[in-house]
Structure 1
Amino acid sequence: MTGSAGDGLLVVADSRIHRLPAQVKIVALFVFVLAVVSTPAGVFWAFALYGALLVWCVVLAKLPPLVVMRRLAVETPFVVFALVLPFVATGPRVEVLGVSLSQSGVLGSWNVLAKGTLGVVAAIVLSATTGPRALLAGLERLRLPSTLVAILSFMVRYLSVVSDDLQRMRIARESRGYRGGRAGHLKAIAGGVGALFVRSFERGERVHLAMQSRGYTGRMPLLSESGAARVQWVEGLAISLAAVVIAVTARVVGL
C-alpha cells in the first residue's frame, strides 16, 4: 500500500526502518553511498555484498519488490549512457560476440550501472520509509540551514497546489477545443506556463504577507523537538558501517 498524495513517496508499513528517526536514515544513506562510490570498480565481490545488504534492507522495510522496480526507472538516462559507453570509449578493444568494445568503456559502464543502481535503491528505501515532513525534520535535526529547510517545506507543501492548478488549466484548454500535438499550439502552452508562473508568484506574496501578519520573523517553528537515542543510531547505521568495512577491505585486499 502506498502513501497518500500528502505522503509523497512513502510506502505505509510497520517496520523497524520506518520507525527509525529520519536523521539516522539520512546519515546512513550518506555513509552507504560514500562507501559504494569509493569502492574500485574492478572489485566485483564488494558490489555483490552491497547488493545483498540492500536486499536485506528492503526486506526489513517490508517494501513491495514491484514498487522498488518501478521507481528504479528514474535511472534510465544513466542506463542508456552506460550501454553506449563501451562503443564510444577509446583505448584497447575486445571482441564480444563479434562486436568490438572498449575495455575501459566496459569497466566504466559497469561502474556507472553498479554504483548508480545501488545509490538509487538506497535512496528509494529512504523515500519509501520516511514521509516528507519527517525528512524535513531530520534535516533540521542535522543542522541544515533553517532558511533552506523553510524553502524545502514550502516546496513540498505547494508542489501539489501548483500541480492542481496545472491540471485545471489543462481541463480548461481541452474544454475549449484544445487537443495538442501541433506546433501552432505551442503559443497556447507558453501562455499557460506564463500565467501559472504569475499566479504562483502572486500566491507566494499573499502567503508571505499572511505569515508576517501572524508574527513570522524569518524563522520557521521547529518541526521536531525529539532526537534519536543511541540505540537507534547503532541500529540505523549498522548496514552502512558494514558497507564501510566492505569498502575498506576492497581497498586493502583489492581483487
Structure 2
Amino acid sequence: MSQENVGIKTPEFVSLQFQLAGLGSRTAAFIIDQLILMIVNILIVIAFFLFMNGSPDFMLMEINSLPLAITIILIFLINWGYFFAFEFFSGGRTIGKKIIGIRVIQENGHSLTLLSSFIRNLLRIIDSLPANYFLGLLMIFFHSKHKRIGDLVAGTIVVHERKAKRKKKLSAIEKEIEKRGLTKDDLIIEEWAKKSLGSKEWDIIRAYCNRFLQLPLEERSQLTAQLADILFLKLGIAVEGKNERELEDSILILYLILKDEWAFEL
C-alpha cells in the first residue's frame, strides 16, 4: 500500500503535513510491543507459581483463588496500562512505535492528551474482537486515514516520524543557545509538569525566543521575570535566588525541551 499524507491546519493557522502510518508499520510496532508484554506476562506467571508453591514444580501445587485473581488483574492492568502510559508520557510512542518510527497524535496536530490516550486504549478491547485484533486490522486497512475504532472515537491518527534534517545554518536564537553552552539536560522537568504546558505556553516561549536578541536589555529583563513567574510556577521551579542570566538560561532550555514536543518535523 502506498504511503499517504494528510494536511492539518492548527488553531494557530499553521499548516502541517503528516505521513500516515499504514497497516504494515503499525502491525510491526504492535508485534514488538506484544513480545515485550509476553515476556513480562511470563515472568509474572512464573513469580505467581513460585510464590504459591515455593518451587517450580507447578503440577503439584494447590491454587489459591485470591492470589490468582490478583495476578490476573495485575496482568490485565499491565497489558492495558502499558499502551496508555507509554503513549501519554512518551509523546504518543510505545517502545514498538519508537523502534518503527511512528507516533500517535491528535487530528489537530497536537500531542496526545490524557483523555484521548485513555479512550483510544480503552477501546482496544473492541478492536481486538473477535480475535487477534481482526476488527482493528480491518479498520486500519480500509479506513482512508488508517484508523481503528479507538482512533475514531479518540480523534487520533498514527503518523510516521522523520528525524529533522540538520540545518546548515542555525537560527539566531539557536546560535545564542549554543554560545551559552545550554542543552536540554541542563533542566530536569518531571513529565507531569511538562504536560501542564500547552500550546499557549509554547507560543509565548517561542515568541520570547524569537525576539530575545532584538529586545532592549531593560525590556528583556522585565519580560524574562514575567515569563519566569508564569512558567516556573506551573513547573514547580523556584524563581527566588536565581539571577537574570539564570532565568534566561532556564527559559531557553525550556524552549529546547518543548520544541521537540510542539515543533517536531514529520
TM-score calculated relative to the size of structure 2:
0.23
Higher helix share: 1
Higher strand share: 2
RCO higher in structure (CA 8 A, sep ≥6): 1
TM-score calculated relative to the size of structure 1:
0.24
